[in-house]
C-alpha cells in the first residue's frame, strides 16, 4: 500500500509579487501563480498520482492552488477540507508592509530575526514555534491518518505552515528549519512507512 503525502506551497500571490508581508491577509494568485499551480498539477499527473484527499488553509491563495492542481490531475471532485490550522504564520503588525520598508524602519537585523528565528515573534504576530504548535496537532489528528490509510493526500498551504510539517517529516530542529526555503508551486512528494516516518522524498521540478 502506498502512503503518499504531497506538500505544495501556493502559487505566487499578488503580495508575493509586491514583496509584502502577507500572513493572514488574503490576496489572490497572480497569473504566474495560476500557471505555477497548473504546472504542478500536470507534473503530479505525469507521475501517476491520483489524489483521494486534499487539504488547504482558509486563505484563498492556497485554496485556489489546490483547485487548480486537482483540476489538472483530472480529479476536481476530490474530498477537500479547509482549515485555519494550515494558515500562514501571522506576521502581526508587519502584514501589508513592504519588506524593504520594514528593514528601513526596524533595521535588517531585527527584521531578519522576526523572519528567520524559531521562537521570536513580530509585534502582534506569531513565531514559527507558534505556527508549529497549531499545525502539528491537525496533521497528527487529521492528515496523517488519511495518509496511513493509503489515501493519496495533498496539502496546499504556505511557507511557514509547511515548514512545520517538514520539520517533523525531515527530522529538522529549531535551528535548521528556519533556513529552509520553499519555492511557490513546487510539489514535494513523500512516501511514508507504516510507522509514519519518511521512506522517500521527491521534489518535482517543473
Is the Cβ–Cβ distance between 25 and 174 less than 8 Å?
A: no
Distance between CA atoms of 73 and 52, rounded to whole angstroms? 11
Catalytic residue among 10, 36, 126, 158: 10
Torsions phi, psi for 29 (to 5 deg): -80, 150
88 is catalytic: yes
Catalytic residue among 36, 88, 126, 151: 88
Is the Cβ–Cβ distance between 4 and 152 less than 8 Å?
A: yes
47 is catalytic: no
Distance between CA atoms of 117 and 124, rounded to whole angstroms? 16
Distance between CA atoms of 34 and 104, rounded to whole angstroms? 32
Tell me the residue ranges of DSSP E strands in the chain.
4-9, 53-57, 79-83, 153-157, 188-192, 198-203
Q: Which residues are catalytic?
A: 10, 88
Amino acid at each position: 500500500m502506498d502512503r503518499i503525502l504531497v506538500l505544495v506551497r501556493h502559487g505566487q500571490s499578488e503580495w508575493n509579487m509586491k514583496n509584502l508581508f502577507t500572513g493572514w491577509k488574503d490576496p489572490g494568485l497572480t497569473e504566474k501563480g495560476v500557471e505555477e499551480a497548473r504546472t504542478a498539477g500536470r507534473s503530479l499527473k505525469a507521475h501517476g498520482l491520483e489524489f483521494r484527499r486534499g487539504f488547504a488553509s482558509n486563505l484563498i491563495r492556497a485554496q485556489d492552488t489546490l483547485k487548480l492542481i486537482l483540476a489538472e490531475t483530472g480529479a476536481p471532485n476530490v474530498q477537500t477540507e479547509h482549515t485555519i490550522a494550515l494558515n500562514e504564520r501571522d506576521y502581526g503588525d508587519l502584514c501589508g508592509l513592504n519588506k524593504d520598508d520594514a528593514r528601513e524602519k526596524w533595521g535588517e537585523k531585527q527584521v531578519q530575526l522576526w523572519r528567520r528565528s524559531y521562537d521570536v515573534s513580530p509585534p502582534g504576530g506569531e513565531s514559527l514555534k507558534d505556527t508549529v504548535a497549531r499545525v502539528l496537532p491537525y496533521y497528527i489528528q487529521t492528515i496523517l491518518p488519511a495518509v496511513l490509510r493509503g489515501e493519496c493526500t495533498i496539502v496546499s498551504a504556505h511557507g511557514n505552515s509547511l515548514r512545520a510539517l517538514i520539520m517533523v517529516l525531515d527530522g529538522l530542529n529549531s535551528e535548521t528549519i528556519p533556513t529552509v526555503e520553499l519555492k511557490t508551486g513546487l510539489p514535494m512528494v513523500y512516501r511514508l512507512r507504516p510507522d509514519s516516518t519518511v521512506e522517500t522524498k521527491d521534489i518535482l521540478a517543473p
